[in-house]
């Protein structure tokens, strides 16, 4: 019962974080980029180009194109990702419809388009990164990047960069102004740098070795409270010759603080070692993305022989 309650609380918290991410991204777009006619990538960029060319509100185009893309992504990325992304797209479209009216004639950094590019790109990057961390997306090239990243070890930022370069360059057909296109490139590079920097920071992994007489309580608490597994290693102190229990734990970097809290509450005198891990693959972490030829069971057995 307690675990179910914690699971529901975690889901609510994650949806709130996704909503916050979308509001941050929408603010960066509407306050700094749209008033300057600076194109960004993704579906938002396509929607802004269509608005400038055909005077169709961006939120409508954004919703329609994302709906088609998510229908395709449903089978590849799963219903959980798509449900969260639909929620994110709706929040982004709603906040955009409000903020677009607020900043239509009151652009921030009105006479400083370069600063507007940098700040807008940073805010968009923060929004995309938070959404991806909680298994969601703002739609568009983020969804394409997530589909490719699922099967190939290519950084999310790099895939977004390639997709969005094409979209931003195409904006010249409507704007006929290379200065605006170059500003769009600046936004794109700032945003993709932020995505790669923040995603690698949030999704990075750490390992712990914990030696304590209360290893059972610590392991149980980490299982229940942090929702991470532990491996018990039977060790022996070299000087004392005494048998001790040592826990081996691998977790996300963002979970390290919670693990320290658990250990400190149960045994403040525990011996703890933390190290950075370059790659962790398996249940609860990333999937190995190694290209290989598909083989039948018989071929695999024959190859081993």
Residue 107 lies in a domain: yes
Same domain, 264 and 118: no
| Domain hosting residue 271, numbered range | 204-277
Within 13 Å, how many C-alpha atoms sit on residue 7's CB side? 5
Instruction: State CA 255 to chain mean position distance.
Output: 15
Same domain, 116 and 213: no
Q: Which of 21, 20, 25, 17 is nearest to 42 (CA)?
A: 25
Residue 302 lies in a domain: no
pLDDT band of residue 55 (cuts 50, 70, 90) is: confident
**Domain CATH for 225:** 3.30.70.120
Which pLDDT score, from 0 to 100, does residue 6 have?
A: 58
For the chain, the domain total comes to 2
pLDDT at 276 over 70: yes
Which pLDDT score, from 0 to 100, does residue 203 have?
A: 65
Residue 24 lies in a domain: yes
Residue 70 lies in a domain: yes
Same domain, 49 and 115: yes
pTM (two decimals): 0.64
Same domain, 216 and 81: no
Which pLDDT score, from 0 to 100, does residue 305 have?
A: 52
Same domain, 154 and 235: no
- Name the β-bridge partners of 277: 205
Question: H or E segment at 160?
Answer: helix 156-170
> Which of residues 202, 232, 250 is at a domain's end?
202
Which pLDDT score, from 0 to 100, does residue 113 have?
A: 85
Cβ contacts of 195 within 8 Å, gap of 6 or more: 125, 128, 129, 132, 156, 157, 160
Mean pLDDT is highest, among 77-91, 124-138, 157-171, 262-276, for: 262-276
Same domain, 159 and 247: no
Same domain, 61 and 20: yes
Q: Which residue has the higher pLDDT, 272 or 57?
A: 272
Same domain, 231 and 188: no
Same domain, 101 and 28: yes
Residue 285 lies in a domain: no
Task: State the DSSP string of 259-302.
Answer: HHHHHHHH-TT-EEEEEEES--BSTTSBPP--------HHHHHH
> Which of residues 143, 174, 202 is at a domain's end?
202
Question: In this structure, are residues 39 and 184 in contact, taking their beta carbons and an 8 Å threshold?
Answer: yes
Instruction: State CA 124 to chain mean position distance.
Output: 12
Residue 283 lies in a domain: no
> Which of residues 147, 173, 202 is at a domain's end?
202
Residue 151 lies in a domain: yes
Same domain, 153 and 232: no
User: Kindly report the CA angle at 231 between 10 and 237, in degrees rounded to 5?
Assistant: 130
Q: Which residue has the higher pLDDT, 242 or 39?
A: 242
Residue 303 lies in a domain: no
Q: What is the mean pLDDT of the chain?
A: 80
pLDDT at 2 over 60: no
Rounded Cα distance, 212 and 269, in Å: 8
Same domain, 196 and 241: no
Same domain, 261 and 227: yes
Question: In this structure, are residues 206 and 250 in contact, taking their beta carbons and an 8 Å threshold?
Answer: yes
- Span 136-163, mean pLDDT? 70
In our burial notation (b when 16+ CB lie closer than 10 A, e otherwise), range 226-260 reads bebebeeeeeeeeeeeeeebbbebbbbbebbebbe
């Amino acid at each position: 019962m307690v675990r179910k309650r914690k699971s529901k609380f975690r889901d609510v918290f994650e949806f709130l974080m996704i909503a916050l991410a979308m509001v941050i991204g929408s603010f960066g777009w509407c306050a700094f980029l749209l008033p300057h006619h600076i194109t960004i990538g993704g579906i938002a960029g396509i929607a802004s180009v269509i608005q400038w060319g055909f005077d169709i509100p961006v939120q409508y185009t954004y919703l329609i194109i994302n709906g088609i893309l998510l229908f395709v992504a449903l089978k590849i990325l799963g219903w959980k990702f798509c449900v969260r992304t639909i929620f994110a797209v709706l929040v982004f479209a709603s906040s955009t419809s409000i903020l677009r009216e607020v900043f239509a004639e009151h652009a921030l950094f009105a006479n400083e388009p370069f600063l507007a590019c940098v700040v807008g790109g940073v805010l968009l990057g923060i929004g995309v990164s938070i959404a991806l961390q909680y298994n969601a997306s703002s739609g568009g090239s983020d969804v394409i990047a997530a589909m490719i990243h699922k099967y190939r070890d290519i950084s999310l930022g790099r895939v977004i960069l390639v997709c969005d370069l094409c979209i931003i360059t195409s904006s010249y057909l409507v704007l006929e102004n290379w200065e605006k296109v170059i500003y769009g490139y600046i936004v794109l590079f700032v945003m993709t740098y932020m995505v790669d920097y923040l995603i690698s920071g949030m999704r990075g992994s750490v390992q712990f070795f914990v030696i304590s007489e209360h290893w059972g309580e610590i392991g149980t608490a980490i299982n229940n409270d942090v929702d991470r597994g532990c491996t018990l290693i039977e060790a022996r102190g070299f000087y004392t010759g005494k048998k001790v229990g040592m826990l081996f734990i691998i977790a996300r970097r963002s979970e390290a603080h919670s693990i320290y809290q658990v250990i400190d509450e149960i045994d403040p005198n525990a011996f703890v070692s933390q190290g950075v891990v370059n790659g962790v693959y398996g249940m609860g972490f990333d999937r190995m993305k190694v290209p290989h030829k598909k083989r039948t069971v018989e071929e695999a057995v024959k190859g081993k022989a």
